[in-house]
Structure 1
Amino acid sequence: MESNGENKKVERQSSSFRLRSPSLNALRLQRIFDLFDKNGDGFITLDELSQALSRLGLDADLSDLKSTVESYIQPENAGLNFDDFTSLHKTLDESFFGGAGDCYESSPDSAAAEEADLAEAFKVFDENGDGFISARELQAVLKKLGLPEGSEMERVEKMIVSVDRNQDGRVDFSEFKNMMRIVVIPS
């Protein structure tokens, strides 16, 4: 019985590290990258990474950090770009969690896990934490992802209207869940 509890604990750690949907996971990684990239230059330097880890209570020796991360930094770059950061994340995922997250089994907990993933994704869009996604917030995320829809507010507003069932001009969590269940088809 205790070993089952331990397995559940490992599953929870894994699911909090990586979302089940690749598209939601990419959004989450982009948000983390943006938070770590303090000066917004598109690179996470070793110093920025060290500071971010320190703020999270994970003090790392700079030379150890350098030896772990250096191979992911392209020679001509000042630090990790988003693709480098994604590769580092994937390697850490495989090292610590066995990369098993890409093939989740159906279980009684899967609905609760999906709900938790959707809540996490909603937080990525809801930048001010007010419980709603405004057109401005949606536009900001779309721009960060480099999507063309993010360059035109009119297109963003149409996206909001298309899922805004109560017509209040913003997307609440319930509307977001409905939208994501249509957009993100479970594998």
Structure 2
Amino acid sequence: MEISNKKKKLSRQSSSFRLRSPSLNALRLHRIFDLFDKNNDGVITIEELSQALTRLGLDADYSDLESTVESYIKPDQTGLRFDDFAALHKTLDESFFGCDDGEDNNRSPESDLEEAFNVFDEDGDGFISALELQKVLKKLGLPEAREIEQVEKMIVSVDSNHDGRVDFFEFKNMMQTVLVPSS
């Protein structure tokens, strides 16, 4: 009974990792790949992957990481190309978060957006401030996070009521304009 409850809790927590929109998933995965590929050569080495995981607070033993990833690296390559990275991601997603989509099928797109919004709204006040956005951008290693002025411009670009922060309605509108419908 306890194991079943843990699995349900894990699958609920994982819904933000597995969004239903294939086009959004592909875009998200490309962005992650680009973040990990520090020298922009189209290949993620084990060193780059290790550094990215460390920046995200997910320190992994290098030899464990190497043994997990090396089977996805083609013999003539020095690291993971995007297709290899996508295959690794799919395997890890299935291994850690399971394939039980029954619960996710009952979820509304709005609840997925609420979960995404809550990632940014660290203090839970119902708004995303420039400082909260900056923290998330820093965790992702994005250069935009370096200057608060850049982050504030990002907020202003979606802040339709001009209160200096993004509420869920504004976040939802922004997400609906950037999401490409899946075919």
- Contact conserved, 1:36 with 1:52, CA < 8 A, in 2? yes
SS for the counterpart of 2:57 is coil
Q: How many residues align?
A: 141
- Contact conserved, 2:11 with 2:98, CA < 8 A, in 1? no
CA deviations on 1:69-115 (whole Å, 9 max, x unpaired) are 00000111110011000000000011112223498322xx5243242
Q: Which runs of 5+ in 2 are unaligned?
A: 120-132, 138-143, 145-149, 159-170
Q: Which runs of 5+ in 1 are unaligned?
A: 134-171
Correspondence for 1:63: 63
**Is 1:113–2:103 an aligned residue pair?**
no
Correspondence for 1:44: 44
The CA distance in 1 between the partners of 2:27 and 2:84, in whole Å, is: 15
1:176 to partner: Cα distance = 4.5
The CA distance in 2 between the partners of 1:8 and 1:103, in whole Å, is: 9
Correspondence for 1:77: 77
- Contact conserved, 1:20 with 1:102, CA < 8 A, in 2? no
The CA distance in 2 between the partners of 1:48 and 1:178, in whole Å, is: 32
Correspondence for 2:25: 25
1:117 to partner: Cα distance = 7.1
Over the aligned positions, Cα root-mean-square deviation in angstroms equals 3.5
SS for the counterpart of 2:39 is coil
CA deviations on 1:160-182 (whole Å, 9 max, x unpaired) are xxxxxxxxxxxx852651674x8
Change (3 A) 1:95 1:6: closer
Correspondence for 2:54: 54
- Contact conserved, 2:15 with 2:104, CA < 8 A, in 1? no
Correspondence for 2:9: 9
Paired residue type of 1:90 = K
The CA distance in 1 between the partners of 2:174 and 2:63, in whole Å, is: 47
Q: Percent identity?
A: 55
1:65 to partner: Cα distance = 1.0
TM-score calculated relative to the size of structure 2: 0.61
1:94-173 → structure 2 map (5 Å cutoff): 94-101=94-101, 104-106=104-106, 109-116=107-114, 129=151, 130-131=154-155, 132=157
Answer with 97-106 or 30-39: which moved more. Answer: 97-106
Change (3 A) 1:47 1:183: same
The CA distance in 2 between the partners of 1:176 and 1:87, in whole Å, is: 26
1:57 to partner: Cα distance = 1.8
- Contact conserved, 2:36 with 2:48, CA < 8 A, in 1? yes
The CA distance in 2 between the partners of 1:102 and 1:184, in whole Å, is: 20
Change (3 A) 1:3 1:61: closer
1:16 to partner: Cα distance = 2.0
- Contact conserved, 1:18 with 1:101, CA < 8 A, in 2? no
